[in-house]
Structure 1
C-alpha cells in the first residue's frame, strides 16, 4: 500500500510512504519512498502540485497506485494550510481514495522520539508569527499531553523545546525555564514523518483526524459592514 502524505503547516512538503499489509503498530513495515520539502514558508501553492507530480514520476507511479492520502491539518497559517488541505481533498476526490488528517506538530514529535526524546517529555514549536508560537506538549513516547496552542513563547512549559519556533525564540524560552535543542532549532513538520505517524496509527487501529484545519486563530478577513451614509 502506498500513502501520499502532504503537509503545508510551515513549509510545503510531500512524501510517498510504502506500507506492508497488514499494517502494524510503530510503522515497522513502512518506509519513505521519496519526499520533498521546500525551505520557503510562503510559496506552498506554487510548488506543491508540481512537487507531487515529480514524486510520482520519480517512482513511476500514477494516481491509481495511491491507496490513501494523509494531510497535515495544522496548526498553521490560513494560506499555507488551505493550500495543502485543498490539494489533498482534490486528489482524494479525483483518485477516489480515503483521505485523513494528522496534526502537523505530531510529525515533528515523531522525529524527536526517533532521535531519543527526554524522559520527562518535551514540547515542539513552530513560528506562528505575531511573536507567538504554535506548540504542543508530548510524553517521551510521543503521546500528546497538551495542545495544540498558540501563545507567546514565555507560556511554554519548562521542558526541552524542539522545532524552528523554539530556535527562533531561544532566549525567551530559556529565560522562562525551557531549554532549546540545537539539533532541532530549524526543524519544521515534514510530510515524510507525517506519513509514518499515519502508518503507525493505522497499524495500531487508532483513528486519524478529518481534514478540518486547526487554525487556532480567528481569520483576519472580516465581512464588510454597511456603507456609512455620506450625509
Structure 2
C-alpha cells in the first residue's frame, strides 16, 4: 500500500509518501516540509511531484490519498482538499481526511490528557482536547486561548503553535510545545494504522473544518446616490 499524505491547514505545506507492506511494516519513501509559508497554491503540486519523483514512483502507483482537513484558514484548506479530490478522481483511489489537530496529537505520542492549539489569528486559536494521542475528547473549536482550559485542571499540558504563541495563558516553555504543526509523515502513519485495521483517530471524508466564515464577502447592492 502506497499512501500519499499532505496538509495545508497551517502556514506550512507538508507532503509525505509512505509505504506499508504486510509482514514488513511501514517505511517512508519521501517527505518535504515547506515551513512558514502561505504560498500553498504555488508549492503543493510541485512538492507532491518532487516527493513522487524522488521515490521513483508515479501517481498511478498510489493506493490512497490522505489530507489534513483543518481547522484552518479558508484559502489554505481549499488548496489541499481540492488537490486531494482532483487526484483521487483522476486516479480512482480513495481519499481520506484527518483533522489536522489529531495529526499533531498523534505525533506527540502522549498517553495522558493534553490539548492541542494552533494559530487561528485574530488573537484566537484552533483547539481540541485529548485523553491520549489517539483519543479526542473535545473540539475542534475556535476561540480565545482561555477557552482551551475552560472546565479542565490548570495543569493540563497544551502543545502546538498556538500554545507557543500564548504561553502566558496556556503555559509551557521551550520544547514542551512540540510538535508545533501537523506533519504529513504523522498523517501518513496515522492513515496506514487505520487502513490496516488498527485503532487510532478516525479517518473522515475529505471535507474542510473551516469553523469560521471566509473573510471575503460578496459585495452588496450599490448605494443610491441622490442628486445634489
Q: 1-side partners of 2:135 and 2:61: how far apart?
A: 32
Q: Which one of the candidate residues 162, 165, 181 is aligned to 1:165? A: 162
Greater Cα offset, 156-165 or 206-215: 206-215
> In the alignment, does 2:187 pair up with 1:194?
yes
Give the deviation of 1:118 after TM superposition. Answer: 5.3
Give the deviation of 1:140 after TM superposition. Answer: 2.3
Hey, what does 1:15 align to over in structure 2? 16
Hey, what does 1:100 align to over in structure 2? 96
Q: 2-side partners of 1:223 and 1:59: how far apart?
A: 44
> In the alignment, does 2:42 pair up with 1:46?
yes
Give the deviation of 1:183 after TM superposition. Answer: 4.1
> In the alignment, does 2:196 pair up with 1:203?
yes
TM-superposition CA deviations, 1:21-78 (whole Å, max 9, x none): 49xxxxx932322111111231111111111111111011001110100100000001
Q: 1-side partners of 2:220 and 2:179: how far apart?
A: 42
Hey, what does 1:124 align to over in structure 2? 116
Hey, what does 1:86 align to over in structure 2? 82
Give the deviation of 1:204 after TM superposition. Answer: 2.5
1:46/1:141 CA distance change after superposition, 3 Å:
closer
Q: Which one of the candidate residues 11, 36, 43 is aligned to 2:32? A: 36
Q: TM-score, with normalisation over the residues of structure 2?
A: 0.89
Q: 2-side partners of 1:181 and 1:203: how far apart?
A: 35
Q: 1-side partners of 2:135 and 2:174: how far apart?
A: 19
TM-superposition CA deviations, 1:169-218 (whole Å, max 9, x none): 111223xxxx4562435620011101111111222367621111000011
Hey, what does 2:220 align to over in structure 1? 225
Aligned CA RMSD, in angstroms, stands at 1.9
**Which structure's relative contact order is higher, taking Cα pairs within 8 Å and 6+ residues apart?**
1
> In the alignment, does 2:175 pair up with 1:182?
yes
Q: TM-score, with normalisation over the residues of structure 1?
A: 0.88
Task: Give the 5 Å matches for 1:133-148.
Answer: 133-148=125-140
1:79/1:135 CA distance change after superposition, 3 Å:
same
2:108/2:178 contact within 8 Å kept: no
Structure 1, unmatched stretches of 5+, are 23-27
Give the deviation of 1:146 after TM superposition. Answer: 0.6
Aligned length: 218
